[in-house]
């Protein structure tokens, strides 16, 4: 019933908010009669503040139209690559007419940025995305407002979140061979689960995982958010914060955790700060400081835009992450799309590098909560620089603002570049060696077939032991499948092997030629 009351109140206030906006423009316009009065500036500021407090904030745009790549301006086209009922995979595709810049863009690593589903839209990561576009191919999970998803699309559980992330990873792997994953705040837990499940199944896992300010182990340095989840029972959350969507939305009847309740909780954490901020906005308008006023508008356009979360997802997150601590206890089972329960085992991850980032003054995800991922991923090789604590940074400071751009991102960029280059080297075999190996192996197999047809022997061929010998798997990258098998030199009693070598050489040359033409053609395009 609370949701219906809120909607009724919002509907009543909305006309007054629109009138306040119009009045603010009339009194703020020096060319109008009302704008020439002695108190016109103050009246305009008061109406503007009322409008800002009463208006309905919709989902903002990313608004990233261009970025700078090493001094060259590159155009950005925002497009949806995958569309699921509760989330879209958004790509920020870059365009350039400069051949050198285009070649550089094509060689940069693809990164999946998993945005939080915790009340705000993915546009909260606007600064994160804009900064990363200078050195990466960026994809972002754009979570949808649950009240806009019809009931016919079904429910959305924490398991579905994990499965969504796996689907997005597989999509990028299919497109680029592999990818990198960055999770900010809430998604650190489901992202770790997604990669763990892929590793347990023997699937290719991302080259790197970067986890920033997330509750991997919410028991460490508990914050006010953690305390609330522990102090209240699961039943309390289900009975007090879950409501059904009113009939004026496509998702009418869906059980959700309303965004306005989430927003009220955010404001209640620092009411004095928000009150002072609005008063400063009022004073800036009176003084004519439009720059400061615009900064205020931009912040609260983002901060006040909230979305509803599906009730099942929200309640399961509370219980799994903040009450039962299933991930750190090793008792978390995730249901796959096929309906099978699979145990989350971070210790199975062996081929993905891990970087954790925490803010010194983070009051949402306490110190050590994100770093705990290293203890869970026991088989990932640990390096000294695989954890970063940002001095003087709060929660938002590690992914937005000056500290993100000058302190965090350079290290994240270097971390990704380092392991991306290593993964490329592990796959790259010099072309002459590749051709020689293919030629020699073809000759060996041909000689084998001829010898067996002339003089059959009991048991397996001589080199079957070599073929059955397991090769040591690389420790850091899922994309590493090992180097090409070295050529085996064998003596033959007939000339069949020699007869096969020219054919192998010709086939190898023909196979190599189209790939070269394709690469040349791609280099002439205008998009990455």
Which one, of 506, 203, 209, lies nearest residue 357 by Cα? 209
Distance in angstroms (rounded) separating the CA atoms of residues 125 and 136? 15
pLDDT given at position 527: 77
Distance in angstroms (rounded) separating the CA atoms of residues 519 and 512? 11
Strand partners for 182:
113, 210
pLDDT given at position 528: 79
Q: Would 365 be classed as within a structural domain?
A: yes
Q: Would 364 be classed as within a structural domain?
A: yes
| Token pair for 298 | 């931009």
* CATH classification of the domain holding 203: 3.40.50.1820
Q: Would 158 be classed as within a structural domain?
A: yes
Examine the domain organization and report whether 127 and 250 are in the same domain: yes
Q: Would 61 be classed as within a structural domain?
A: no
Distance in angstroms (rounded) separating the CA atoms of residues 30 and 465? 90
Distance in angstroms (rounded) separating the CA atoms of residues 94 and 178? 19
pLDDT given at position 477: 40
Q: Is 89 exposed, middle or buried (0-12, 13-18, 19+ CB in 10 A)?
A: buried
> What predicted TM-score, i.e. pTM, was given to this entire model?
0.80
Distance in angstroms (rounded) separating the CA atoms of residues 351 and 474? 7
Examine the domain organization and report whether 93 and 173 are in the same domain: yes
Distance in angstroms (rounded) separating the CA atoms of residues 373 and 359? 16
Mean pLDDT per 10-residue run, the chain (528 residues)? Answer: 91 94 91 84 94 93 94 95 97 94 94 95 95 96 97 96 98 96 96 98 96 95 89 93 94 96 87 94 93 93 94 97 96 95 96 95 92 94 84 93 95 95 75 47 46 38 36 38 38 40 42 40 54
Residue pair 313/158 in contact (Cβ under 8 Å)? The answer is yes
Examine the domain organization and report whether 237 and 343 are in the same domain: yes
Examine the domain organization and report whether 49 and 189 are in the same domain: no
Examine the domain organization and report whether 116 and 200 are in the same domain: yes
Residue-number span of the structural domain to which 493 is assigned: 431-454+475-523
Number of domains within the chain: 3
Q: Would 156 be classed as within a structural domain?
A: yes
Residue pair 123/61 in contact (Cβ under 8 Å)? The answer is yes
Examine the domain organization and report whether 135 and 46 are in the same domain: no
pLDDT given at position 350: 94
Examine the domain organization and report whether 232 and 199 are in the same domain: yes
Q: Would 205 be classed as within a structural domain?
A: yes
Examine the domain organization and report whether 50 and 177 are in the same domain: no
Examine the domain organization and report whether 375 and 479 are in the same domain: no
Angle between helices 99-106 and 496-523 (to 10 degrees): 120
CA distances from 40 to 33, 47, 118, 354 (A): 10, 11, 41, 57
């Amino acid at each position: 019933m609370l949701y219906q009351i809120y909607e009724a109140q919002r509907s009543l206030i909305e006309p007054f908010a629109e009138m306040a906006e119009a009045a603010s423009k009339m009194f703020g316009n020096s060319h109008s009669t009302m704008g020439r009065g002695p108190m016109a500036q103050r009246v305009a500021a008061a109406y503007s503040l009322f409008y800002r407090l009463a208006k309905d904030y919709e989902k903002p745009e990313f608004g990233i139209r261009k970025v700078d790549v090493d001094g060259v301006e590159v155009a950005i086209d925002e497009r949806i690559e995958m569309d699921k009922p509760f989330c879209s995979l958004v790509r920020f595709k870059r365009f350039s007419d400069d051949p050198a810049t285009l070649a550089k863009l094509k060689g940069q690593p693809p990164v999946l940025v998993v945005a939080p589903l915790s009340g705000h839209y993915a546009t909260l990561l606007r600064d994160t995305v804009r900064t990363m576009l200078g050195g990466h191919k960026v994809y972002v999970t754009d979570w949808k407002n649950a009240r806009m998803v019809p009931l016919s699309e079904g429910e959305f559980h924490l398991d579905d979140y994990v499965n969504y992330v796996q689907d997005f990873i597989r999509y990028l792997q299919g497109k680029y061979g592999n990818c990198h994953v960055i999770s900010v705040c809430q998604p650190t837990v489901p992202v770790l689960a997604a990669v763990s499940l892929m590793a347990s199944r023997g699937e290719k896992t991302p080259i790197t995982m970067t986890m920033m300010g997330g509750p991997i182990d919410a028991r460490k340095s508990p914050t006010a958010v953690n305390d609330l989840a522990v102090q209240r029972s699961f039943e309390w959350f289900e009975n007090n914060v879950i409501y059904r969507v009113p009939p004026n939305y496509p998702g009418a009847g869906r059980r959700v955790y309303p965004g306005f309740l989430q927003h009220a909780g955010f404001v209640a954490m620092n009411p004095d700060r928000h009150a002072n901020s609005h008063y400063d906005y009022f004073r800036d308008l009176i003084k004519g400081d439009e720059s400061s006023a615009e900064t205020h508008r931009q912040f609260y356009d983002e901060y006040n835009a909230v979305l509803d979360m599906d009730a099942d997802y929200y309640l399961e997150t509370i219980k799994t992450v903040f009450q039962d601590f299933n991930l750190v206890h090793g008792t978390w089972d995730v249901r796959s799309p096929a309906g099978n329960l699979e145990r989350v085992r971070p210790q199975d991850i062996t081929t993905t590098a891990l970087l954790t980032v925490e803010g010194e003054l983070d009051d949402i995800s306490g110190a050590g909560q994100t770093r705990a991922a290293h203890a869970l991923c026991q088989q990932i090789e640990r390096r000294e620089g695989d954890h970063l604590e940002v001095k003087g940074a709060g929660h938002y400071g590690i992914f937005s603002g000056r500290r993100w751009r000058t302190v965090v991102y350079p290290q994240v960029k270097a971390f990704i570049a380092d392991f991306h280059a290593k993964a490329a080297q592990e796959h790259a075999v010099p072309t002459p060696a590749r051709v020689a190996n293919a030629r020699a192996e073809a000759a060996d197999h041909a000689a084998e077939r001829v010898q067996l047809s002339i003089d059959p022997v009991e048991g397996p061929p001589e080199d079957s032991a070599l073929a059955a010998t397991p090769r040591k798997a690389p420790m850091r990258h899922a994309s590493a499948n090992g180097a090409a098998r070295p050529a085996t030199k064998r003596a033959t009693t007939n000339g069949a092997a020699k007869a096969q070598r020219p054919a192998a050489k010709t086939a190898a040359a023909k196979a190599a030629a189209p790939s070269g033409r394709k690469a040349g053609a791609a280099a002439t395009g205008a998009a990455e």
